[in-house]
Amino acid sequence: MSVVTAGIDVAGKSLVVDVLCDGIRAKRGKPFSVDNTPDGHGQLIEKLRDLAVTRIVCEATGVYHLDLAIALVEAGLPVMVANPRQVKAFIQARLRNSQDDPIDAHELAQFGLRMDFRPWQAPDPSHYALHRIARSLHGYVEQATAAKNRLHAAHAVAQTPKLLLKVIKEEIAFLDRIETRLRTEALKIIDHNAKLKRHFDLLISVPGIGQTSAVQLLGELCVLASDLSAKAWVKLAGLDPTRKQSGTSVLGKAHISRRGNAKLRGALFMPAMSARRHDPGLKHFADRLVQNHKTPLQAIVAVQRKLLHGIHAMFTLDQPWNSSALVPQTQNQA
């Protein structure tokens, strides 16, 4: 049976599509373009059905791909939303010297033919709403932190104009109001969804995770596939260790890959800092790493991984936080 793959290069206003049969464009025509609008999605779906497409691949491009992917899934078409890093490495391996939208669409179709095809699942509407609000909250929290740092630096200089101090304080107050509105709306979404509410309650049972951190973490975790393992979560967060080794002459230091979701990784940082101080099991775990010549930052990264494993276990087993299950008893002994 022939494999008919469609690669879709997604932009904000348009979609460029290339369709291949067993990797060959024969009798399938040249790449074509449709608008990235509901009407354009409808036209594309009709054409893909006419061409008996069996695999569709697009990249995760911010939010521009989302409405398209949902429309394809609702139409019963098999679509894969590929990791842009993986697609980039695939194209580089094929030694492409030129790049434009039709070429990208062609390479995405080739990717769908040659790589493992993993169908995409549309997120629950309430989960996606929480995801978007949590991401916005994360951004405003970062802006508020930066503004507070600027205020601290301004206070350290006696010659700082009073007007500048006033403006920075007003900026902080404005950002705080936005944070409150976003957090309140996120909590309303959580309260109206039993699964989200239960997972939120489990998250705030973890030492070091407050309401804001719980909203940010839940906003990232709730849109992940439900069958992912704890190790998969760690990899998706870019917290998986990696190193470079070649023969006996090249041996790089181990470090985290940073190839995953930077927002999830960032949302874990402050909870890990707090858990490092306040959770007895994780405190002893981190202390042992430092005693074994790991840097304080490496210890925090290790605590981030432990937190992810623990959160995965809580969600899977529907049980509150228990760090003793994460850290072997022999490690907890003084």
pLDDT range class, residue 47, cuts 50, 70, 90: very high
Which residues neighbour 179 within 8 Å (Cβ) at sequence distance 6 or greater? 137, 140, 141, 144, 212
Reported residue count of the chain is 334
Fold designation for 4-114: Nucleotidyltransferase; domain 5 (3.30.420)
Mean pLDDT across 203-221: 94
Which residues neighbour 198 within 8 Å (Cβ) at sequence distance 6 or greater? 318
Predicted TM-score of the model (pTM): 0.78
| DSSP classification of residue 117 | P
* 105 has pLDDT over 60: yes
pLDDT value of position 302: 94
In this structure, of 33-42, 45-54, 257-266, the range with the lowest mean pLDDT score is 257-266
Count of alpha carbons within 13 angstroms of residue 88, beta-carbon side: 6
* 329 has pLDDT over 70: no
* 248 has pLDDT over 60: no
Backbone angles phi, psi at 28, to 5 degrees: -105, -5
For 121-148, write each residue's pLDDT tens digit.
Answer: 888 999 999 999 999 999 999 999 999 9
Whether 255 contacts 276, CB under 8 Å: no
Query: What percent of the chain has a predicted confidence (pLDDT) above 90?
Result: 69
Report the candidate in 235, 241, 311 with the shortest Cα–Cα distance to residue 272. Answer: 311
Report how far Cα 310 is from the mean position of its chain's Cα atoms: 18
* 250 has pLDDT over 60: no
* 331 has pLDDT over 60: no
Quick one: 156 exposed, middle or buried, by C-beta within 10 A (0-12, 13-18, 19+)? exposed
pLDDT value of position 28: 53
Q: Rounded distance, CA 76 to CA 65, Å?
A: 17
* 334 has pLDDT over 50: no
Q: Where are the domains of the chain?
A: 4-114, 125-246+256-332
For 190-203, write each residue's pLDDT tens digit.
Answer: 999 999 999 999 99
Query: What percent of the chain has a predicted confidence (pLDDT) above 70?
Result: 92
Coil, strand or helix at 24: strand
Q: Rounded distance, CA 101 to CA 119, Å?
A: 23
Most confident of 22-26, 254-258, 265-269, 324-328: 265-269
Count of alpha carbons within 13 angstroms of residue 58, beta-carbon side: 27
Mean pLDDT across 263-292: 93
Coil, strand or helix at 78: coil
Alpha carbon distances (Å) from 293 to 1, 286, 288, 325, 329: 57, 11, 9, 25, 21
Tokens of 250: 């090249």
Arithmetic mean of pLDDT over the chain: 89
For 52-81, write each residue's pLDDT tens digit.
Answer: 999 999 998 767 888 899 999 999 999 999
Backbone angles phi, psi at 243, to 5 degrees: -150, 165
